[in-house]
Chain A
Amino acid sequence: MTPSPETTITSKNITVSYGHITALDNFSVNVPSGIVGLLGPNGAGKSTFIKAVLGLLVPDSGQITIAGKSLTTEGEIIRDMIGYMPEHDCLIDTFTAVELVSYMGQISGMQKKDAMPRCHEMLDFVGIGEERYRPISSYSTGMKQKVKLAQAIVHDPKILFLDEPTNGMDPQGREEMLDLVKKIRASDKSILVSTHILDDLEKVSDHAIIIGEGRLITEGGLEELLAGKESLRVVKVRGQAPDMEKFLKVLGDVYEVRSITPESGQTSIIILNQGDGTPIFRLSKENNVQLRAYYPHKASLEDVFVGAMENKGGDQ
């Protein structure tokens, strides 16, 4: 795996163990710039990977490089470039949002005269209003998530790690959070988002890394992953029941049919077709069914994820 010039994080053969449990097992990946989704079921090793990259835990073996710098020798320089939004509750809840975010700005290396206006700017950005002067203990989960994001970006890091950013948020809050992530991305940052909510990731990320049981299952650009490695096609047809029956039988003899779904007045069929679509048109004409649509099948991220996890199971 050769890192591309745009690679933000490179991990080579990382192994992290907690006692007898191996959380990351020879995990190697190149994380490109842009918004990258880190996907995996609970306990897959997502948070462990982020902690290892942050230098919060020392891997048993392997190497991590961030923006071309070694985590082992230049850990502090790297951490000055990083912002981290943890998954769990971590806010000092006796502080107000203003106190906490400006404090975090200062311990990230900002002077007080810079940290205070920047803190207000970031709280405005994430949508915390006058509540910013109340102790964090009185905040809702959604507001706490926003404060966590504000403290992660207050020092304008080049690389941002978001661990389950929409955790515990209602649908509107999730949309707002994803919108914020997209806005941050616009300022040319690299953002690694760890989540198990696939819909969220599909909306914002450019690249996805799927991890399971501490190992890399698959990775790639989102479009590439969603297009799928197989040539699946959607065929939508309409016709009389006997004709449809004949058509489906003939189609099944020629192609591998993955699914047949009745829709309002028509039938949607997913087939595996490596060649062109001419025979489909011919078959539909011969069987007296009306071909309404024929196009490449685009999988959802959930399909990709489930497929990847199933393949992983098959590999073992």
Chain B
Amino acid sequence: MGIDPIGYKPWTGKLTARHDRILVIAKTLFRTQLRSKWFILLLVLGYIGVFAFPIIFNALMPHTELDGITMSTELGSGLLFMFTVLLASLVCSDSISEDLRSNSFVLYFSRAIKTESYLAGKLGGIFLTLALFCFFPPIIMAIAILGTQSGSDYLPGLGILALTVVAAFVTTIFLIPFSVFISSLTKRKSHAAIGTFMTFMVMTIIGGIFSEFDANWNLVSPGSMLEYFYDWIFGIGIPQSINEGILAAVFAAFIIIPMALVYLRVKQKAEGK
């Protein structure tokens, strides 16, 4: 009977507020991801390949101020998008599929955790993890460019910095709902990861092919969608051929539809169906 058989002792502490438990789920997911050697490897490669050189280059290159075109170009780079997709595929892959595989939903939902709280915790954990690549480095880049400008007027640069925060936030959250949705469809995280990556790649290819007939097909491609969004955020303006209404609708659909499906799927699982 174990190393030290003891009797049952009651616990007399005080329970935390229920919303604090969302943070526990988020922190646990974040810590688990930080232990993944694949995640660390991709993160380091991404830092070096996507951010280190552009930060050094942009800081050393003579410039009078931080401008929107520079930040939009840097954020819209294909390499950054590729690493974002790879990391989103990796990080989101086991968010729900792990619980599907181990049937552990019951452990959460037999406690005072609602479907909304569970999802908020999972999404929070994924956001924290992806923010290490998609949120903080672009802001650091903007600060580096702002800090090394030759001009004396910092006000426009600070405005661009604020917009960079918004753009970095959009980059971080944009791929999460769809990736989590794919994770909620399978019990195997490898299937979820490959499925997520391939889906984004196929969407990019489809967007590329059909945009020959109508430029709005570009909106099917998540990378192009983000590029248009950066242009819109930094005030550069989107091409005339792109319908702004369709852009907004597709962007909302990328976020809302997968999240609604994930919610229904988890709710179904919570009820043991």
Q: B-contacting residues of A (Cβ < 8 Å)? A: 18, 51, 54, 56-58, 75-77, 79-80, 82, 84, 86, 88-94, 103-104, 106-111, 114, 118, 121, 124-130, 151, 153, 155-156, 176, 180, 183-184, 186-187
Contacts and interface: CB of A to CB of B under 8 A. Distances in A.
Interface of B: 1-13, 15-16, 18, 20-21, 24-25, 28, 32, 98-99, 102-104, 106-114, 270-273
19 contacts: A54-B110, A77-B112, A80-B15, A89-B103, A90-B106, A90-B107, A104-B107, A106-B21, A107-B24, A107-B108, A110-B13, A110-B16, A111-B13, A114-B11, A121-B9, A124-B3, A125-B7, A151-B107, A156-B11
A88 B8 contact: no
A126 B2 contact: yes
Contacts of B98: 92, 94
A128 B10 contact: no
A90 to B, nearest CB: 5
Contacts of A56: 106, 109-110, 270-272
Contacts of B102: 89-93
Contact of B106 (A58, A86, A103, A153): A86
Contacts of B113: 107
A267 B113 CA distance: 61
A103 B28 contact: yes
B75 to A, nearest CB: 34
A109 B110 contact: no
Q: Is the interface of B mostly helix, strand, loop or mixed?
A: loop
A76 B107 CA distance: 14
B110 to A, nearest CB: 4
Contacts of A156: 10-12
Given A103-B28, A153-B8, A108 B2 contact: no
A157 B270 CA distance: 21
Given A106-B24, A107-B21, A107-B24, A125 B8 contact: yes
Contacts of A180: 8
